């Protein structure tokens, strides 16, 4: 898996690179600045210190500043619990972690827990508060304090007890400016106007200025330090540097020499800072860097046009932090030197310096010798860089009469030592080794002696010594130097086969083929033996093909791998095997793989086999073995990351050069290292509801944060205390109990929470430096969100108490209610018992009357026929008998006839229809050969029940015969009876007309008693009767109709309901009867 390491500015540990390499270009050293625009209270920074927590403290003439990389907090005299005076002279932390600040108004101890200062006042004999100049912590933990005219003091941090150092009487009234303890335990005490005292249990020496040449050069001492070789350096207010010789006990004096640029920059020295094999000296004329190997100084001074350079020549203080950054305090604020600036050399145009680049836009490089590199600029011709002196001393402006010729796009040194320069619109000029013009090739016409176009993009020389010149819009030129003629490959030459005449870059591979990177045509291979051209382009849908057709660069590394850069489509890696076989199969690298940009401007391999890639967003390093990508952000206050196409070079010493819109960046890739400093992360600000939270303790030491239910918006700000490039430090945070995983805050440095539920949380933060080195959990803040009062524990206790009281009241009320209810119930029960006795007596009487009524209800009182309920009972009994007579094999069975007869009688006036019904019944019984049970079903309806005897079991054929032969069917019998009935009744003098409709059910099998009953069977019969009547009404006839339903299987309720619900009208076999066989329906 590809591991991506995002990094921008790179921090180096000073011991990794050589001192020589660092000091070669230190006079153009770049600094990052902090001034009042960034929140500094005042520009004059006299003291700098980093405490054990990682905060930077900056003392000015108008207050003390604490810097966390993101914000500056200012402590002033007039603030509550503030410092004793706004003029800060020294800052030092003691062995117990207490920060001490010496001011013009006395001594102050910082209380980190309370974020305030405790004033420690020391009085002189006249009871006036002493002023302090310096603070120094000795190796035994003693904190030494230099006063302004009252000698030397020490302090006990736990008790704040201050004691005067009285061993050296001459010091009692001295103005002590500096105290320093060397590696041998000797105490060096520098004074103002009294020289230096050397103390080792006793006064060992007192060094003052005298007539002796090797004596101390000046009596006003400002700084004392010991270098890495054990030499004592003493900086004076006007006598330069004094380096103490232990053997002779004399001093070697370094002074400013205006005629010697390698001398001390000024004799007034404010601070000395040893740093491995070099010594930084802060002076009144800038910074002097002493190289102990070379034994001379490099001066760093302010240049008005150098925005990233030293911002003021009066340098008052110097300090090296835990990450190796060197801080300088000047009259214009802070200057921070990052060791990475010693690795990346920047060459730019500085108007007041003639030895700098003449134009910042660079498109090409070429190495002329081991110490000279030609730089092609866009507008100022060729600049020559001397890599030893770092001077750009020679400028070749090409054809002076043509400014267009100064716009150099390509430089090439051939094997004879001649320099070829291609411009954007003036063709090619050739220069000898002494840089005199010897030849020129331009576009004249389409002839062989003419260049195809004047816009030249690249120039190479092949293994056979031939020169190839590519152009934009006019293809490729092959120069025959003997005949001074060109062979052209473009659209005018129909045999060329070029996909695009816009060529960006040329390459001859190890096999002698010429490769062209083109704009829109992918890459093309030219076989110079037969001029055959083969093109490789992107294939739509083929993800393994060339990633894009705008090929900006092409490069072959030491392993034969070809690298093709594209505009917007990343970098392509082509293996030697695929290249030889012309397989369109590439491995791709772009933003998704970790590149800082997918627009590639150039590729080069360093001496270690790493691939360096120039993009529009800086430089990336690719490990071709692991595919690990490291991005380098080379931007600063004026330089952006955009590099130019083709402006890339590796010189003979392995240094890499990149050209862009703001000059040249050069470095040795072996010196580039990773920032290994693990930054602590501190809480810096808490805002609750847009109001700054100010607890009684310091925010950075806050352990508990309590919020109420009203605190709906909380913002926590934090900072990783690494100062290489604080804006690129990264953060992750997590609120345990609320967040399930870590939240990436990127470089924002804050977390905001809204409407947090009540509860307990732990707020944790991780931070990284600009190079992606992460800290452990540096912040563990306990956050408590209290619930609203109505959701608090005591509120719930109150709710529970109230509930219990209400419940108790309810129970008591219910108990009283139930007691009343029981009493009432007993009274009611007594009355009920009395009523029951009375009702029982009345019930006996009523029962007897009901029995009489039941007897009467069995007979219709008008006709004296059985009532409907009595008939149903008769049918139920008959069915039970029928069911009992069925044999096990169903061979013989009893048959019943159940009928309902609708008698539509129109009688004469004053005649009772019931009398007619009686006559109908009499006639039916008279004509019937069997016992018939007749009942009155409704006002005009009679119910019939009669047994038909037992019948032999018929098969289907017999059944059909029965149905189709009316003379043998029940229908014939019923017809005969009804005919006789009508005939007999037609002569009645009381009858006007009569229509009879009969529904008959002939259940051959007994009913299934588990599924149906007599009432349901009668409902079927009633359905048949109404069906016959309905048919009669539709025929507008007074004829008699009969509907017969005969079954040969057990009737079930489901079967009966199916017949009744059948919506199709009955189909009559004739005008008198309808016969249906259930076997045909089911």
Mean pLDDT of 455-473: 96
Mean pLDDT of 495-505: 87
Mean pLDDT of 1000-1018: 65
State the pLDDT at residue 6.
38
- Is residue 11 pLDDT above 50, yes or no? no
Q: How far apart are CA 190 and CA 280, in angstroms?
A: 19
CA neighbor of 113 nearest in space, from 700, 763, 692: 700
Mean pLDDT of 1002-1009: 58
State the pLDDT at residue 885.
67
- Is residue 1077 pLDDT above 70, yes or no? no
Helix locations, 316-415, DSSP H: 340-343
Give CATH for domain 169-301.
2.130.10.10
Mean pLDDT of 775-784: 89
**Residue that is written with structure tokens 């299934």 in the block:** 1008
Q: How confident is the model at residue 328 (pLDDT cuts 50, 70, 90)?
A: very high
Q: How far apart are CA 329 and CA 318, in angstroms?
A: 6
State the pLDDT at residue 222.
97
Give CATH for domain 868-1081.
3.30.70.270
**Using one digit for the tens of pLDDT, what is the confidence trace for 284-310?**
999 999 999 889 999 999 988 788 889
Give CATH for domain 497-669.
2.130.10.10
- The arrangement of strands across the sheet holding 562-566 comes to 551-556, 562-566, 571-574, 587-589
Q: How confident is the model at residue 778 (pLDDT cuts 50, 70, 90)?
A: confident
Helix or strand or coil: residue 854?
Answer: helix
**Using one digit for the tens of pLDDT, what is the confidence trace for 342-401?**
788 889 888 888 889 999 999 999 999 989 999 999 989 999 999 988 899 777 655 455
Helix or strand or coil: residue 819?
Answer: helix
Cβ atoms of residues 180 and 226 within 8 Å: yes
- The arrangement of strands across the sheet holding 296-300 comes to 269-275, 278-283, 286-291, 296-300
Give, in order, the Cα–Cα distances in Å from 612 to each of 595, 615, 618, 649, 665. 11, 10, 11, 10, 13
Across the chain, mean pLDDT equals 84
Range name among 545-559, 748-762, 827-841 with the lowest pLDDT average = 827-841
Burial class (CB in 10 A: 0-12, 13-18, 19+), 384: middle
Partners of 866 in the beta sheet? 859, 935
Output DSSP code: residue 192: B
- Is residue 1036 pLDDT above 80, yes or no? no
State the pLDDT at residue 1074.
36
CB proximity list for 827: less than 8 A, separation 6 or greater = none
- The arrangement of strands across the sheet holding 476-480 comes to 456-461, 467-471, 476-480, 485-489
What is the bridge-based pairing of β-strands 269-275 and 514-518? unpaired
Output DSSP code: residue 727: G
Q: How far apart are CA 976 and CA 966, in angstroms?
A: 11
Helix or strand or coil: residue 853?
Answer: helix
State the pLDDT at residue 1064.
39
What is the bridge-based pairing of β-strands 629-632 and 4-6? parallel
Residue of higher predicted confidence among 179 and 909:
179
Element spanning 834, H or E:
helix 793-857
Residue of higher predicted confidence among 151 and 788:
151
**Using one digit for the tens of pLDDT, what is the confidence trace for 562-571?**
999 999 999 9
Residue of higher predicted confidence among 522 and 913:
522
State the pLDDT at residue 457.
97
Mean pLDDT of 869-892: 71
Please give the distance of CA 644 from its chain centroid, rounded to a whole number: 33
Mean pLDDT of 950-956: 46
Partners of 428 in the beta sheet? 422, 441
**Using one digit for the tens of pLDDT, what is the confidence trace for 17-49?**
333 444 445 767 889 999 999 999 999 999 999
Range name among 155-164, 226-235, 360-369 with the lowest pLDDT average = 155-164
**Using one digit for the tens of pLDDT, what is the confidence trace for 108-145?**
999 888 889 999 888 887 778 788 999 999 999 999 99
Mean pLDDT of 876-901: 69
Instruction: Quickly name the fold that domain 681-791 has.
Output: Immunoglobulin-like (2.60.40)
State the pLDDT at residue 649.
98
Give, in order, the Cα–Cα distances in Å from 981 to each of 225, 383, 897. 151, 143, 18
Rama region for 463: left / alpha / beta (φ>0; ψ in -120 to 50; rest): alpha
Tokens found for residue 277: 């094999």
Q: How far apart are CA 293 and CA 675, in angstroms?
A: 26
State the pLDDT at residue 892.
44
Rama region for 92: left / alpha / beta (φ>0; ψ in -120 to 50; rest): beta
Burial class (CB in 10 A: 0-12, 13-18, 19+), 780: exposed
- Is residue 7 pLDDT above 60, yes or no? no
Tokens found for residue 930: 């069997």
Cβ atoms of residues 542 and 572 within 8 Å: no
**Using one digit for the tens of pLDDT, what is the confidence trace for 417-443?**
999 999 999 999 999 998 899 999 999
Give, in order, the Cα–Cα distances in Å from 865 to each of 872, 875, 935, 1015, 1080. 13, 15, 5, 19, 37
Concatenating the DSSP letter of every residue in 791-817 gives GSHHHHHHHHHHHHHHHHHHHHHHHHH
Q: pTM score, two decimals?
A: 0.70
Mean pLDDT of 225-254: 95
Tokens found for residue 1080: 């045909």
**Using one digit for the tens of pLDDT, what is the confidence trace for 537-560?**
999 999 999 999 999 999 999 999
Element spanning 60, H or E:
strand 56-60
What is the bridge-based pairing of β-strands 618-622 and 250-254? unpaired
State the pLDDT at residue 334.
98
State the pLDDT at residue 124.
80
Q: How far apart are CA 101 and CA 63, in angstroms?
A: 11
What is the bridge-based pairing of β-strands 779-785 and 704-707? parallel
Give, in order, the Cα–Cα distances in Å from 1045 to each of 998, 1028, 1048, 1060, 1071. 11, 12, 10, 11, 17
Q: How confident is the model at residue 14 (pLDDT cuts 50, 70, 90)?
A: very low
Burial class (CB in 10 A: 0-12, 13-18, 19+), 1034: exposed
Residue of higher predicted confidence among 574 and 997:
574
- Is residue 861 pLDDT above 80, yes or no? no
State the pLDDT at residue 823.
85
Give, in order, the Cα–Cα distances in Å from 325 to each of 11, 50, 319, 669. 8, 11, 8, 20
Cβ atoms of residues 309 and 336 within 8 Å: no
Nearest 5°: phi and psi at 920?
A: -65, -40
- Is residue 1076 pLDDT above 60, yes or no? no
């Amino acid at each position: 898996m590809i591991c991506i390491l995002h990094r921008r500015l790179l921090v180096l540990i000073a011991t990794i690179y050589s001192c020589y390499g660092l000091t070669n270009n230190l006079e153009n050293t770049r600094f990052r600045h902090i001034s009042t625009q960034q929140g500094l209270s005042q520009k004059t920074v006299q003291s700098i210190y980093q405490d054990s927590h990682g905060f930077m403290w900056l003392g000015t003439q108008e207050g003390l500043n604490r810097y966390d990389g993101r914000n500056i907090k200012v402590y002033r005299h007039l603030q509550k619990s503030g410092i004793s005076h706004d003029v800060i002279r020294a800052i030092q932390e003691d062995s117990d972690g207490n920060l001490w600040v010496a001011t013009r108004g006395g001594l102050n101890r910082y209380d980190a827990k309370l974020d305030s200062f405790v004033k420690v006042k020391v009085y002189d004999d006249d009871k006036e508060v002493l002023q302090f100049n310096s603070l120094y912590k000795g190796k035994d933990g003693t904190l030494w304090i230099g006063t302004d005219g009252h000698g030397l003091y020490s302090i006990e941090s736990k008790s704040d007890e201050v004691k005067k150092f009285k061993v050296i009487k001459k010091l009692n009234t001295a103005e002590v400016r500096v105290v320093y303890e060397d590696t041998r335990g000797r105490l060096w005490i520098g004074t103002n106007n009294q020289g230096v005292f050397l103390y080792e249990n006793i006064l060992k020496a007192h060094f003052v200025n005298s007539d002796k040449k090797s004596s101390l050069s000046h009596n006003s001492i400002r700084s004392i330090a010991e270098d890495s070789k054990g030499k004592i350096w003493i900086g004076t207010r006007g006598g330069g540097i004094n380096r103490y010789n232990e053997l002779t006990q004399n001093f070697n004096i370094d002074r400013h020499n205006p005629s010697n640029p390698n001398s001390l920059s000024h004799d007034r020295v404010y601070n000395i800072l040893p740093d491995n094999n070099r010594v930084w000296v802060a002076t009144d004329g800038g910074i002097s860097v002493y190289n102990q190997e070379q034994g001379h100084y490099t001066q760093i001074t302010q240049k008005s046009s150098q925005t990233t350079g030293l911002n003021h020549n009066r340098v008052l203080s110097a300090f090296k932090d835990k990450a190796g950054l060197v801080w300088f305090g000047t009259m214009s604020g802070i200057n921070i030197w990052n060791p990475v600036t010693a690795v990346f050399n920047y060459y730019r145009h500085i108007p007041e310096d003639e030895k700098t680049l003449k134009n910042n836009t660079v498109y090409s490089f070429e190495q002329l010798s081991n110490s000279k590199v030609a730089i092609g600029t866009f507008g100022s011709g060729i600049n020559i860089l001397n890599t030893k002196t770092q001077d750009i001393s020679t400028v070749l402006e090409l054809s002076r009469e043509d400014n267009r010729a100064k716009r150099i796009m390509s430089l090439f040194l051939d094997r004879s030592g001649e320099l070829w320069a291609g411009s954007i619109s003036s063709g090619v000029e050739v220069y000898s080794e002494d840089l005199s013009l010897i030849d020129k090739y331009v576009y004249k016409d389409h002839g062989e002696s003419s260049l195809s176009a004047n816009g030249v993009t690249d120039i190479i020389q092949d293994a056979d010594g031939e020169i190839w010149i590519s152009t934009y819009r006019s293809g490729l030129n092959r120069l025959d130097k003997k005949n001074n003629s060109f062979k052209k490959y473009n659209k005018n030459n129909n045999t060329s086969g070029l996909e695009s005449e816009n060529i960006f870059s040329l390459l001859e591979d190890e096999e002698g083929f010429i490769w062209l990177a083109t704009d829109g045509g992918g890459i093309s291979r030219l076989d110079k033996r037969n001029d055959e051209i083969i093109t490789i382009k992107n294939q739509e849908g083929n993800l393994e093909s060339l990633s894009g057709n705008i090929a900006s660069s092409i490069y072959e590394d030491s392993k034969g791998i070809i690298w093709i850069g594209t505009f917007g489509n990343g970098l392509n890696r082509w293996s030697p095997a695929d290249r030889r076989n012309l397989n369109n199969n590439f491995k791709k690298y772009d933003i998704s793989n970790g590149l800082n940009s997918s627009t590639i401007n150039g590729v080069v391999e360093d001496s270690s086999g790493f691939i360096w890639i120039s993009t529009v967003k800086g430089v990336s390093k690719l490990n071709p073995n692991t595919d690990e990508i490291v991005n380098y952000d080379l931007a600063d206050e004026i330089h952006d990351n955009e590099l130019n196409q083709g402006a890339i070079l590796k010189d003979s010493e392995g240094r890499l050069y990149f050209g862009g819109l703001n000059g040249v960046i050069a470095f040795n890739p072996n010196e580039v290292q990773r920032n290994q400093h693990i930054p602590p992360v501190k809480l810096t600000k808490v805002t609750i509801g847009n109001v700054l939270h100010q607890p009684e303790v310091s925010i950075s030491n806050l352990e508990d944060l309590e919020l109420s239910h009203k605190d709906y918006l909380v913002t926590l700000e934090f900072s990783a205390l690494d100062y290489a490039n604080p804006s690129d430090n990264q953060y992750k945070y997590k609120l345990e109990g609320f967040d399930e995983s870590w939240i990436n805050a990127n470089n924002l440095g804050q977390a905001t929470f809204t409407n947090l539920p009540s509860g307990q949380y732990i707020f944790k933060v991780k931070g990284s430096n600009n190079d992606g080195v992460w800290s452990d959990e540096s912040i563990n803040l306990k956050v408590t969100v209290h619930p609203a009062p109505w959701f608090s524990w005591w509120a719930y206790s109150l709710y529970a108490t109230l509930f219990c009281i209400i419940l108790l009241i309810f129970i008591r009320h219910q108990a009283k209610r139930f007691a009343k209810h029981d009493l009432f119930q007993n009274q009611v029960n007594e009355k009920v018992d009395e009523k029951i006795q009375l009702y029982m007596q009345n019930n006996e009487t009523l029962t007897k009357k009901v029995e009489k009524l039941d007897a009467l209800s069995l007979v219709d009182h008008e006709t004296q026929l059985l009532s409907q309920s009595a008939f149903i009972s008769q049918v139920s009994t008959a069915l039970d008998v029928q069911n009992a007579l069925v044999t096990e094999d169903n061979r013989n069975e009893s048959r019943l006839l159940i009928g309902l007869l609708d008698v539509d009688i129109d009688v004469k006036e004053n005649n009772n229809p019931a009398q007619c019904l009686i006559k109908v019944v009499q006639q039916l019984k008279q004509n019937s050969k069997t016992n018939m049970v007749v009942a009155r079903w409704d006002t005009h309806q009679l119910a019939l029940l009669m047994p038909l005897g037992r019948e032999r079991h018929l098969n289907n054929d017999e059944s059909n015969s029965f149905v189709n032969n009316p003379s043998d069917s029940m229908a014939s019998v019923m017809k005969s009876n009804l005919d006789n009935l009508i005939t007999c009744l037609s002569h009645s003098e009381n009858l006007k007309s009569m229509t009879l409709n009969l529904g008959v059910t002939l259940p051959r099998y007994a009913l299934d008693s588990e599924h149906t009953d007599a009432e349901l069977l009668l409902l079927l019969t009633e359905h048949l009767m109404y069906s016959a009547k309905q048919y009669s009404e539709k025929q507008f006839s007074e004829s008699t109709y009969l509907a017969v339903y005969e079954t040969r299987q057990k009737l079930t309720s489901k079967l009966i309901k199916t017949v009744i619900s059948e919506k199709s009208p009955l189909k009559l076999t004739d005008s008198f009867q309808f016969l249906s066989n259930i076997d045909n329906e089911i």
